[in-house]
């Protein structure tokens, strides 16, 4: 998605060789119209799949997931990063290492919210080492649901997560893939 690459080049900041800040339009301040353009593009990419549900993970995946869900007319389920007081009943869990936060957490989805009849699309704003998508894939497998693939806002290709998932046969569509990142220079695949 050329418009996303342009936006990253204009507003993104490489805070180090592998941390990209795009808080000005994507994951802290949200350019609402642009977020819905990204959601519409995800809906277009997966228009031929009979998707019944989008699954994402809190927090910054929720906005892109909802924007895509608006066009695909399906519900969104987001994994919580801990089992809070308002989660009850049996849950699917996955241990996930967060690259951004440099910590491990247990992602939780109540079993009632994914069924074996579902065809699921995973949506997230970023893909780095692929740990979140792998964890969500595991929970979708536990539910006996089908996986249509993953739709990502920005994939940091040089961190290898996307290609590892593709090598497992998972369809991964990223709206922008960064091949190399240096201060003041971002190269796209």
> Which residues inside 76-95 make contact with a copy of itself, applying CB under 8 A?
76-78, 80, 82, 84-88
Q: Which listed range, 41-49, 69-77, 151-159, 161-169, lies at the site for a copy of itself (CB under 8 A)?
A: 69-77
158 and 126 in contact (C-beta within 8 Å)? no
13 and 185 in contact (C-beta within 8 Å)? no
CA distance 102 to 89: 29
CA distance 30 to 147: 28
**Residue 110 found at the interface with a copy of itself (CB under 8 A):** yes
**Residue 104 found at the interface with a copy of itself (CB under 8 A):** no
Q: Which residues contact 184 (CB under 8 A, 6 or more apart)?
A: 14
Q: Which listed range, 66-74, 130-138, 164-172, 179-187, lies at the site for a copy of itself (CB under 8 A)?
A: 66-74
Q: Which listed range, 29-37, 131-139, 168-176, 177-185, lies at the site for a copy of itself (CB under 8 A)?
A: 29-37
Q: Provide, rounded to whole angstroms, the least separation between the CB of residue 167 and a copy of itself.
A: 27
Helical segments of 61-130, H only: 61-72
Q: Provide, rounded to whole angstroms, the least separation between the CB of residue 83 and a copy of itself.
A: 11
Q: Provide, rounded to whole angstroms, the least separation between the CB of residue 44 and a copy of itself.
A: 17
Inter-residue long-range contacts of 44-48, CB under 8 Å, 24+ positions, other chains counted: 45/151, 45/173, 46/72, 46/121, 46/148, 46/149, 46/151, 46/173
Return phi, psi of residue 82, to 5°. Answer: -160, 160
**Residue 51 found at the interface with a copy of itself (CB under 8 A):** no
Q: Which residues are near a copy of itself by CB under 8 A? A: 13, 15, 19-21, 23-24, 27-33, 35-36, 58-60, 62-63, 66-67, 69-70, 73-78, 80, 82, 84-88, 100-102, 109-110, 112-113
């Amino acid at each position: 998605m050329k418009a996303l690459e342009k936006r990253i080049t204009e507003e993104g900041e490489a805070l180090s060789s592998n941390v990209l800040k795009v808080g000005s339009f994507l994951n802290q301040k949200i350019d609402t119209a642009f977020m819905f353009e990204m959601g519409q593009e995800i809906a277009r990419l997966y228009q031929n799949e009979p998707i019944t549900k989008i699954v994402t993970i809190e927090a910054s995946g929720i906005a892109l997931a909802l924007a895509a869900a608006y066009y695909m007319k399906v519900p969104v389920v987001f994994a919580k990063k801990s089992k809070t007081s308002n989660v009850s009943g049996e849950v699917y869990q996955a241990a996930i290492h967060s690259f951004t936060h440099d910590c491990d957490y247990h992602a939780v989805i109540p079993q009632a919210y994914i069924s074996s009849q579902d065809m699921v699309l995973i949506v997230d704003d970023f893909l780095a080492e692929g740990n979140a998508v792998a964890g969500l894939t595991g929970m979708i497998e536990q539910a006996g649901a089908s996986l249509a693939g993953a739709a990502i806002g920005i994939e940091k290709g040089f961190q290898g997560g996307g290609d590892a998932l593709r090598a497992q046969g998972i369809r991964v569509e990223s709206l922008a893939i960064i091949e190399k990142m240096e201060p003041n220079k971002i190269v796209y695949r």
